[in-house]
Structure 1
């Protein structure tokens, strides 16, 4: 009897060992990355290629979310974001960039766009200021009467030791933007020389000095808005304003949207254009 029990125990142990081996084969161990590991530095802080999703494909992995229903269409390179008056994107800054954004210094925003003439102001990009009507850094399309010429406006707040919110505006009327063709736009602020430059299809369309403005320093900043003003999201990204009747979300198409924490060079911008990047 005792020998019979020992045989049963041995058989059971062998079966358990064999089953464990098969389980290990079916479910191999995964080498999960360490989510707390440091990120390799890149001046490109945000990259949205819009390949049928809104995920940030850059090094820093902004957490993306949508306002309204998001759809995609044929882009200049793969797929593109199709905006509507009821949709926009939000990009929440990851915690390990919390020291970078308020001390930005310089920046570049670059993207491909396609849209027809606007009849209301279209929000394109905002680094919000959660306390004021305008954001810390805004790019939008102002109302225009031209079928082809776009009227871009850039708004900046700079928090310096001299003035808490030093507000500046840059206006750029850029030919041959509206229509059925994709156009590459880049907006560069260089804090070393207080210069704003706007590029269309790799070529300078406007250069304007902001005397004494210096390196950008933001306060009360928040989640980035793409395809919207800071006050036209639901809820508003600022306590300083709600939706405005004259302002609309961007209803056109965007592709290869990039944000840098430095003023990238003219040759780098030309490469983005020529490479359809």
Structure 2
């Protein structure tokens, strides 16, 4: 018995020594050039997808992998983008990219939506949705969306040189129509769009290619001049009511609110038919210089 105890103790000491040596060897590895995270935990960038699908950049790959590996929820194809690859929207009424959530962007009080687009006209000229944040808290079942109006001669419609659109936040709508339409965004070339909302002013500002679009009248105050919105709130009764995040379409295009929103579509509800790249959501209103920097760097 004594001999066995001695052998056991000897083996335990040897094992401990091996562990210590092994730990010492891996405690000081040769450090390479690690990617520097420009958006540390708690930073303002809450959602980012480059649409590259196979990117080796670990800071992008998590969201890109969602796009690449869940084809049933994300049926769009890849095309050359403004940086790497982009997604190509579908001319049908039932395809868009669906993500499980917009991450912590749902808690933003000020915000920025930023992305690149290359427009392709709808075959029947109907309106189309660029993105949507589905929510059960609102009558239109979306806490945020962008709807681009159909083409036509009416000042409330879009042309290749003027994009008429509506940006919805909760039940507040900001309409970029008539003299407030966005320039050049639908001419078939790559353009950068950004929408910033500042809770201190209750104003939504649109940027095209890094330049703020002038807005006439009071409609740029979300909710109207008499009732400024203040801090944005994308959910009311429960954060769980935000079911997903849709890029390139609206809730019905992906069944974003469950079975009741699947199936036949309203004839005017179209998914986005063009290409889209570098989609970002921030929980702050970027400054004009920050938006310009995104445009200049093709980010």
Secondary structure, aligned partner of 2:293: helix
Where 1:153 maps in the other structure, the secondary structure is strand
- 1:209 corresponds in structure 2 to 221
Residues 136 and 156 of structure 1 are in contact (CA less than 8 Å); yes or no, is this contact kept in structure 2? yes
Within 1, Cα distance between the matches of 2:290 and 2:148?
24
Given that residues 89 and 272 in structure 2 are in contact (C-alpha distance below 8 angstroms), is that contact kept between their aligned partners in structure 1? yes
Q: Relative to structure 1, is the Cα distance of residues 273 and 230 closer, same or farther in structure 2, using a 3 angstrom cutoff?
A: same
The structure that is helix-richer by fraction is 2
- 1:176 equivalent to 2:177? Answer no
Are the equivalent residues in 2 in contact too, given 1:71–1:81 (CA < 8 A)? yes
Q: Counterparts of 1:263 and 1:253 in 2: how far apart (Å)?
A: 25
Larger proportion of strand: 1
Q: 1:138 to 1:73 in 2, by over 3 A?
A: same
Q: Structure 2: give runs of 5+ residues left out of the alignment.
A: 1-39, 153-158, 236-240
Give me the whole-angstrom Cα distance separating, in 2, the residues matched to 1:155 and 1:258: 17
Q: CA deviation at 1:253?
A: 0.2
2:193 equivalent in structure 1: 185
Aligned partner of residue 247 in structure 1, secondary structure: coil
Contact 1:141 1:153 in 2 (8 A): yes
RMSD of aligned Cα (Å):
2.8
Whether contact under 8 Å (1:46, 1:57) holds in the other structure is: no
1:46 maps to which residue? 47
Farther off after superposition, 127-136 or 173-182: 127-136
Distance 1:148 1:141 in 2: 13
Range with bigger deviation, 265-274 or 240-249: 240-249
CA contact (8 A) 2:196 2:286 kept: yes
Give the superposition deviation at 1:192: 1.8
Aligned equivalents of 1:79, 1:129: Cα separation in 2: 30
Normalising to structure 1: TM-score of the pair? 0.73
Q: Contact conserved, 2:134 with 2:144, CA < 8 A, in 1?
A: yes
Q: CA deviation at 1:69?
A: 2.7
